[in-house]
Amino acid sequence: MRRLDVLAIQRISAAEKAQIEAVDPAIRLTDAGGWFDGEYRETWPERAAARYLAPTAKGSGSRSERDRLLAEAEVILGGWPFPLDLRARAKRLKWFHQRPAGASNLRLGDLWGSDVVVTTSRGAGNTLAMAEYVVAGILYFAKGFFRAGIDREAGAFDHRAYRPLLLEGKTLCVVGAGGIGCEVGRLSAALGMRVVGTRRYAAPDASLPVGFSRLGGAGDLDGLLPESDVVAICCQWTPETTRLFDRDRFARMKAGSVLVNVARGEIVEEEALAEALAHGRLRGAVLDVYVGEFERLPPPALWRDPRVLVTPHISSYSDHDRHRAIDMFCDNLRAYLDGAPLRNVVDWQRGY
Q: Is 51 noted as a catalytic residue in this protein?
A: no
C-beta separation of 12 from 30 below 8 A: no
C-beta separation of 87 from 116 below 8 A: yes
User: In 3D, which of 61, 113, 55 has the Cα closest to residue 87?
Assistant: 113
Bridge partners (DSSP) listed for residue 28: 5
Q: Is 183 noted as a catalytic residue in this protein?
A: no
Integer Cα distance of 327 and 17 in angstroms:
11
Integer Cα distance of 286 and 267 in angstroms:
14
Active-site entry in 264, 266, 270, 283: 264
**DSSP-derived 3-state class of residue 32:** coil
Active-site entry in 16, 266, 269, 293: 293
92 in the Ramachandran plot: left (φ > 0), alpha (ψ -120 to 50) or beta?
Answer: alpha
**DSSP-derived 3-state class of residue 212:** strand
Q: Is 264 noted as a catalytic residue in this protein?
A: yes
Q: What is the DSSP string of 143-202?
A: TTTHHHHHHHHHTS--GGG------TT-EEEEESTTHHHHHHHHHHHHTT-EEEEE-SS-
Helix (H) or strand (E) holding 138: helix 127-142
Active-site entry in 247, 313, 324, 343: 313
User: In 3D, which of 60, 71, 74 has the Cα closest to residue 11?
Assistant: 60
Active-site positions read 264, 293, 313
